[in-house]
Amino acid sequence: MSEASVLVVALAAGAWLALRPFMTATAWPDEAPDERDDVARAVSSLRDLEFARAAGTIDPADEARLRARIEASAFAARDGRLAAAPVRTFAVTALIAGAAAVLAVAFLPASVGDRAPGDTITGTVPGGPSLGTLEARVRATPGDVPTRLALADAYANEGRPSDAAEQYRAVLALDADSVPALNGLGILLFRSGSLDGALLAADRALKVRPRDADALFLRGLVLYTQQRYADAVRTWDTYLEVGEFHGAAPMVRALYDDAKRKGG
């Protein structure tokens, strides 16, 4: 069985185990079911799918089929009928899952080096150098920008945001216009809740590369989160022109329509 098939089966099993209690007619004995539990499970399952898609370990058709199954089942009412989820619920779910997608495509490459102008930070390197190897290379050649970027990505992928931020800042000390470092640092700031810092990083990246898909995506996401819907729409207008095949494009299209409605 291929790695992709194994992942699909695991995801399907995980989604089934998470959602099965909500597909029965048995009510909780002492309190009414909380719809937020359904949302949490949907977000978790969608996030797993986003990571699998970003990693390239799941077939697009399988990913679409599992996504449809999760979305159809996550909001099942206790009497077996589908309960209508509010638009806000889907927007929040899409936002969180989309943010996970961006983090995945940013941090999965362990050794991609600097990216050429116009390239996105998506892609996979199945057998890159280990974390220890990258650390040794940086110690030996502190001015090696591509290796520092790869080390920063590896730290972020290992759940070490402080170490990742330190490496991105070290890159910026060597090259203040490094778009990959600005994007990587911006994502870390967004994850930490520093929206203003993330927006500043995205704006700096766009001054260097005005049509960079990663920076446009991040900027729009920050503006949407800040409820600056009209500004988010303007940013994503450009993003949708240049980022047709960007990993987060499907999520952006949904949030883009929502931002247009809310921004008038």
- Yes or no: say if 234 and 261 are a contact pair by the CB < 8 Å rule: no
Query: 192-220, pLDDT tens digit by residue?
Result: 999 999 999 999 999 999 999 999 999 99
- Yes or no: say if 65 and 94 are a contact pair by the CB < 8 Å rule: no
* Backbone angles phi and psi of 29, in degrees to 5: -70, -35
Q: What is the pLDDT of residue 225?
A: 95
* pLDDT top residue among 143 and 41: 143
pLDDT score of 79 more than 50: no
Instruction: Give the Cα separation of 42 and 147 in Å (integer).
Output: 37
Residue 58 binned pLDDT confidence (cut-offs 50, 70, 90): low
Whether pTM exceeds 0.75: no
- Token pair of 15, please? 């989604």
Q: What is the pLDDT of residue 41?
A: 59
Residue 70 binned pLDDT confidence (cut-offs 50, 70, 90): low
Residue 128 binned pLDDT confidence (cut-offs 50, 70, 90): confident
* Backbone angles phi and psi of 19, in degrees to 5: -95, -15
Buried b (16+ CB within 10 A) or exposed e, 235-264: bbebbbeebeebbbbebbeebbebbeeebe
- The amino acid at residue 91 is A
- Yes or no: say if 55 and 124 are a contact pair by the CB < 8 Å rule: yes
